[in-house]
Amino acid sequence: MSIEPGDKVKFLNDVGGGIVKKLEGGLAFVEDEDGFEIPMPVYELVVVEKGQPSAEARQVADKVVESRNEDVSEPEAYHQELEEEGHDDFNPRFYLGFIKIGNNQTEEGKLRLYVINDSNYYVTYLISELREDGLMYALHQGILQPNTKLPLEDRLAREFENTFHMQLILFRKGKGYPALDPVSSAVQIKARRFYKDNVFRNNDFFYQPAVLVPVIKNELEQKMDMLTEFDSKAVIGEKEKSEKKPQAKRKSTPELEEVDLHIDELVDTTAGLSNSDIIQIQMDKFHFVMESNAKNKGRKIVFIHGVGNGVLKNEIRKQLERKYKVYYQDASFREYGYGATMVII
């Protein structure tokens, strides 16, 4: 028996149960009697009682599209509880997300497509596709609240081979915000990407690995997209030109932490990783270290980023200035050459 939101279930291998509130890939979020949502694999649940369709679901067939206007100018329209700290209002993030559904390790497996709004803005979105007759066809349209995600559809992995045309308008309700141009972007999805190693990765949005495709690209991602294959290999395998022999790795001490951001120090293999994937892994490590040391005042951290083409170095320093607002300088040339930045928390 399939499990759907609203079903009353019990845990197969544990004590307890509750009402299924939502499904996400192979996980069901079960609300227990205390009001807590517990993520559980669907195969570990037994349906005790089928839920009744919600009033909203019963009205779908009779739903009429109405034109309406919403006044969002008044301060009462602003909801601070929807916003999260740490977002850069000048670089909002919006993704298409793909997660696996069930046992789908082959091309016959299905994926679920999400839109993900990782910003403090409301986002009006329209997703369309260009078909063989030369006309554009709308697929999905709606409004996402700040810092939320929404499932759109399930397809066989190979059926996502497409170019999605994305149009986004970002705004705030009841509060001022920087002037942002509407986003119009063509996002090309190559189905073969879903069958490569290391593509589905742990992330901040799902309880399972996912493929995240940025729709709004920040300055760093745009630079990475412009890199040639030769440049990409240089970023991955770069060595300090000033080094005449390998230098011994220093061990971190209570006063100083050394963090090597070379990609081969962070993953076992780079197979299947794009330029953007690589830089994102490196920046994720950088942010993790900075946030872990936020309360360690006076601590010194050396980030070894290499010389390369300067993309990673520049992005690190931009984040240090804009987000973390801490002192930094070139690390010791004698020990690291030109390829490291020292931060003092």
Q: What is the pLDDT of residues 168-193, one digit of tens each?
A: 999 999 888 888 889 998 998 988 88
Q: Do domains 75-216 and 222-344 have the same CATH topology?
A: no
Q: Strand 300-304 and strand 256-260: pairing?
A: parallel
For 40, the enclosing helix (H) or strand (E) is strand 37-41
Domain boundaries, the chain: 8-61, 75-216, 222-344
> Is the distance from CB of 121 to CB of 82 less than 8 angstroms?
no
pLDDT score recorded for residue 286: 94
What pLDDT does residue 248 have?
Answer: 43
The conformation of residue 236, written as its DSSP 8-state character, comes to H
Q: In the prediction, which pLDDT does 245 show?
A: 40
Q: Percent of the chain at pLDDT above 90? A: 24
Q: Phi then psi for 9, rounded to 5 degrees? A: -130, 165
The CATH topology of domain 75-216 is: Immunoglobulin-like (2.60.40)
pLDDT at position 223 is 58
Residue showing tokens 């409301």? 122
Helix (H, G, I), strand (E, B) or coil at 183: strand
Q: Maximum distance among all alpha carbons in the chain?
A: 75
* Residue carrying structure tokens 């570990």: 44
Token pair listed for 276: 């953007």
For the chain, what's the residue count?
Answer: 345
Q: Tell me what pLDDT residue 45 has.
A: 86
Distance CA(150)–CA(225), nearest Å, equals 27
Q: Which residues, given as ranges, of the chain have pLDDT below 50?
A: 57, 60-61, 229, 235-236, 238-248
Closest by Cα among 27, 45, 29 to 37: 29
- Would you identify the CATH topology of the domain 222-344? Ribosomal Protein S8; Chain: A, domain 1 (3.30.1370)
Question: From edge to edge, which strands make up the β-sheet containing 327-330?
Answer: 256-260, 300-304, 340-344, 327-330
